[in-house]
Structure 1
Amino acid sequence: MLSRRTALGSALAATLATRFAGFAAAQDGAFRFGIVADPQYAPVPPNLASGRYYANSLWKMQEAVAELNRHDLKFVATLGDIIDRHWESFGHVLPVYDGLKHPKVFVLGNHDYEVGREFLRSVVRTVGMPNAYYDFAGGGYRFVVIDGNDVSTFAPPVGDPRRELAAERLARLKASGAPNAQSWNGSLSDEQFAWLQRTLDAARTARENVVVLGHYPVFPADKHNMWDSQRIVDLLTSYDNFVAYLCGHNHAGNYGEIGGRHFINFRGMVDTPTTTAYSIVEMHPDRLRIEGFGREESRSYAIRARA
């Protein structure tokens, strides 16, 4: 007999299993998509010390869905930490996402695995992702979703060799005094890193620009960055068609630029009792424009022409 939790996961997976089919840009090359970072919903009291109001993200997400539905968007991406903890939290917040009229794109964060060991293998399926890392095309772009939880101390199932590898990587970083040597960060497996390079190669061959979506920052240096952030930055910036890296995890937000390539850290929705945070990103041939809502600021960045 199915338990209540198992039934919940199966039902939600069926509800969110529609795959993203791609899209075309407008005649002027423009298109728009939505971004949400770190709703981190859970039906628990707030953490006043950190200013995180977990339960309030339910109504914040409801308001965001209503506003995003007013716009012509190609998709809405959530950059990880859909929930803060507890398997049942998915059952509260994912139905809110069902109200979106746009395709849903998910990235997973560290808190999405705070669900109990018996459910670790079910998280990807539950949110309807095709895989923990994947890519899709639209509007002349290749969108690449990476999984920074791949080699971590919390996401791989117990007994998976990636846990041992994660412990080794974290120990080496701590020994070096790296500020991002934190147990709540993670890294890519070598297998995923090779996949990322192949995907970038394919995008370059297809004359597609690239936007990478991740949970963890990789630049500029910060305690929230992925353990292997430097090799990721080196790889991405070696491609002339790489445009931007979009992430969450650092709820305060951040920004960095390397040779006209943009590393944009969006602010967390969960923070503050009454103010939300989400965005609409508008892509043009020569610029990337962000329309911020709530705590998220509006700004614009030039897109570097390919060589």
Structure 2
Amino acid sequence: MPKLYTRILKLLVYRSKIKRYLKKMATIVKNQEPLMVFAALSDIQYGDMDDGYNFKKTGKRYYRNALVFQKQVIEQWKNMTPEVKFILQLGDIIDGFNKRHGISESSLQKTLDVFGDFKTYHVIGNHELYNFDRAALMKTPLFSAGLPECKSSIASTNQFYYSFLPDASLRIIAIDTYEIAEIGWPESSTNYQEAMKYLENNINEDKNSCANMTGTDRRFARFNGGVSSTQLKWLNQLLEECDKKKENVIIIGHLPIHPSAAAVECLCWNYEEILSILYNHDCVISYMAGHDHVGGSGIDEHHIQHITIPAILETPPDRDPPMATLSLYNDILHIDGQYLLDNYDIKLKFPIV
């Protein structure tokens, strides 16, 4: 009994120290001027359609109100001081049902118009690929890899993965988690054929179903995808450069890559390969994704903060829409979350001096 009492006492003291530290960090953040402020959101999935439900009929989807919420979020960011420099849009900007109604182009234009003058960097998700093939997406503003500051001599010019450097101390890397996918590619393509091999792990006739599958095998569904060996090589080479230049790195993609931050059926097919590359480098501080509409977060064994941003689409109209406002300081990246998204203080791997 005395030993148990001692352990409980030590635990309470430890928790008290943690709380004091977090309070101290919050005070420091509050009193400092950030070096830069930017923002992120995900899964708007707008459509000029009546409300509906998700595939499992467990979550209501507010298609029209998604645009109302997007406008509300953008207005909040417009009125912030210091100013928000750019936005990260993490995929599924419009819903797949737009294709059925023949309004894919008009719906996309409406959502893009809301961003207005904000510099916005996009990644593509499964719903973009339900509406357009990849060749068509390259001709839209969603093809951020075509921007001058995002071009890389390492990456192929017709790929959707890219990186940019908004600050000398911070690099954003966008990966394409649907480079290997059954959606978006012609059946004759190598990428489609490779995707079909992944989907052999799905025992169901309907490859969009995860029924009768257990553990992380549930990720092998048609609505997910994977990263090619070419892209993995590009990512590894780029992170090597970031290590040498002491650049802190945030990686973004539509699909989550760690089981602590999302339901397993939402994970990238070859997430373990991506993690193995990240773990060989010191520079990565966070991975941010969408796709899992309820969101989630976790810190892996290499102290990388994984954050899955909840969907605007499934947020009830009487709530505040989920959004992330990120402030870069000398030694931390502070994230202000809203609604289902928490606040985070992420320690920089390379403090700014």
TM norm. shorter chain > 0.5? yes
Is residue 106 from structure 1 mapped to residue 106 from structure 2 by the alignment?
A: no
- Tell me the residue number matched to 1:297: 342
Identify the range of structure 1 (60-69 vs 165-174) with the bigger mean alpha-carbon deviation: 165-174
Is residue 251 from structure 1 mapped to residue 280 from structure 2 by the alignment?
A: no
The match for 1:170 among 196, 199, 208 is: 199
Q: In structure 1, how many angstroms separate the alpha carbons of the residues matched to 2:283 and 2:203? A: 34
The amino acid across from 1:182 in the alignment is A
Q: In structure 2, how many angstroms separate the alpha carbons of the residues matched to 1:188 and 1:282? A: 29
Q: In structure 2, how many angstroms separate the alpha carbons of the residues matched to 1:143 and 1:299? A: 18
2:289, 2:307 within 8 Å by CA — same for their partners in 1? yes
2:248, 2:349 within 8 Å by CA — same for their partners in 1? no
Identity %: 25
Is residue 134 from structure 1 mapped to residue 162 from structure 2 by the alignment?
A: yes
Q: 1:159 to 1:70 in 2, by over 3 A?
A: same
Deviation at 1:158, TM superposition (A): 3.8
The match for 2:242 among 198, 203, 217 is: 203
1:110, 1:185 within 8 Å by CA — same for their partners in 2? yes
Deviation at 1:61, TM superposition (A): 0.8
Deviation at 1:173, TM superposition (A): 6.0
Deviation at 1:31, TM superposition (A): 1.8
- Tell me the residue number matched to 2:112: 94
Identify the range of structure 1 (46-55 vs 71-80) with the bigger mean alpha-carbon deviation: 46-55
Q: 1:203 to 1:29 in 2, by over 3 A?
A: farther
Deviation at 1:182, TM superposition (A): 1.5
Q: In structure 2, how many angstroms separate the alpha carbons of the residues matched to 1:34 and 1:249? A: 17
Q: In structure 2, how many angstroms separate the alpha carbons of the residues matched to 1:46 and 1:291? A: 29
- Tell me the residue number matched to 2:303: 260
Q: 1:135 to 1:295 in 2, by over 3 A?
A: same
Identify the range of structure 1 (129-138 vs 32-41) with the bigger mean alpha-carbon deviation: 129-138
Deviation at 1:304, TM superposition (A): 4.4
| RMSD (Å) for aligned C-alpha atoms | 2.2
Is residue 39 from structure 1 mapped to residue 50 from structure 2 by the alignment?
A: no
Aligned pairs for 1:1-307 (under 5 A) are 30-48=35-53, 49=57, 50-71=59-80, 72-85=83-96, 86=99, 87-88=104-105, 89-97=107-115, 99=116, 101-115=117-131, 119-127=133-141, 128-129=143-144, 130=146, 131-139=159-167, 140-172=169-201, 177=214, 178-220=217-259, 222-258=264-300, 259-274=302-317, 275=319, 276-304=321-349
Deviation at 1:35, TM superposition (A): 0.4
SS in 2 for 1:125: coil
Deviation at 1:261, TM superposition (A): 1.3
- Tell me the residue number matched to 1:6: none
Which structure 1 segments of 5+ residues have no match? 1-26
Greater Rg by CA: 2
* Aligned pairs, number: 276
2:52, 2:62 within 8 Å by CA — same for their partners in 1? yes
SS in 2 for 1:223: helix
**Structure with bigger RCO (C-alpha 8 Å, 6+ apart):** 1
Q: In structure 2, how many angstroms separate the alpha carbons of the residues matched to 1:304 and 1:39? A: 32
The amino acid across from 1:273 in the alignment is P
1:31, 1:282 within 8 Å by CA — same for their partners in 2? yes
Q: 1:204 to 1:302 in 2, by over 3 A?
A: closer
1:38, 1:270 within 8 Å by CA — same for their partners in 2? yes
Q: What's the TM-score once normalised by structure 2's chain length? A: 0.73
Per-residue Cα deviation, 1:70-112 (whole angstroms, up to 9, x for no partner): 2312210100001112323212211112x2x431110111111
Which structure 2 segments of 5+ residues have no match? 1-31, 147-158, 205-212
1:282, 1:288 within 8 Å by CA — same for their partners in 2? yes
